[in-house]
Amino acid sequence: MNARPFLPALLLAAALGFSPAARTDEADGFRPLFDGKTLAGWVNVNCAPDTWSVVEGMIHCNGQPTGALRTERQYENFVLELEWRHLTSGGNAGVFIWASPEAAPGVPFLRAIEVQVLDHGYGNTEDYTTHGDVFAIHGASMKPFPPSKGMRSFPTEKRSKPSPEWNHYRITCQDGTIRLAVNGKEVSGGEQCVWRKGYLGLESEGAPVDWRNLRIKEMPSTGATAEQSAPVAEAK
C-alpha cells in the first residue's frame, strides 16, 4: 500500500504539536495523566522536594521518604493504565486508588485501595505476593476477590517481571469494584470498596522506581455519595 498520501497529515500533526500516540489516546478514549516533561497535575503529599522528578520522560521516585504523589483531582469510574519498574531487587511501592488527599492519621500512607508494586526480590509469603496484590489500607475497605486473606486479594497467576524489567498494569474501577490486569491478564481485585471515588496516587516506600505511559479513560459517574467519596483537598 502506498503510504505517501498519508504523509501530509503526519507532517501537519507534527507541526501542530500532536503525535500519533496522542491521537490514538484520543481515539480510544484515553488521555495522558503525565505529560512526560513536568509533574503538572500532580501533588507531592508528604515527600521531600526531590523525592519525585522527571527523568528521560518518566516519573522517577528515589524512594525517600515514605509518602505519596497524587493527582490534583478525584476520579470515580475509570480505566487506568501505567508501566512501572523497580531499579533495585526487592523494591516496594504501590498505586493508590480512590485515595484521601492527605496521609491517614499516624502513618505516611494515603487511605486508599492499594495495588501492590513489589519486586520479586522482596519474596512471597502467605501474607503477600510480588505479582499484584490488591488490598484496602488505613480505613478503606473492600470485599476481595479470591484467593484472599482479610481484605487482601492475591493474584491468580504469577505474571510480574523482576527488576529492572517493565511491568504493565491495567486497573479498571467501576461502581466500587476494582480489577487488576498484570501484563495483559486480570489476576486480582475486589468489590464493595469504600471509598469508590477519590484521588489516584503513586507510593514512595524506600526504593527507587520509575513510572511511564500513565493514561486514563474516564467513564460516566454513577453518583458516588459523600460517604462513598474521599474528602476534597483543602485549597492552599
Residue range 135-149: mean pLDDT, rounded: 98
Q: What is the architecture of the domain spanning 42-218?
A: Sandwich (2.60)
Examine the pLDDT at 23 and tell me if it is beyond 60: no
Q: Average pLDDT in the 185-209 region?
A: 98
> What is the percentage of the chain residues whose pLDDT exceeds 90?
87
Check residue 103 and report its DSSP letter: B
What's the CA gap between 62 and 78, in Å, rounded? 28
Q: What is the structure's pLDDT at 234?
A: 87
d(CA 41, CA 26): 18
Distance CA 169, CA 180 (A): 7
Residue 10: pLDDT over 90: no
Mean pLDDT for the stretch of residues 8-32: 52
- Indicate if the pLDDT at residue 226 is higher than 90: yes
pTM for this prediction: 0.89
| pLDDT at residue 76 tops 60 | yes
pLDDT per residue as tens digits for the range 160-182:
999 999 999 999 999 999 999 99
Residues 6+ apart with CB under 8 A from 131: 124, 155, 157, 158, 159, 160, 182, 187
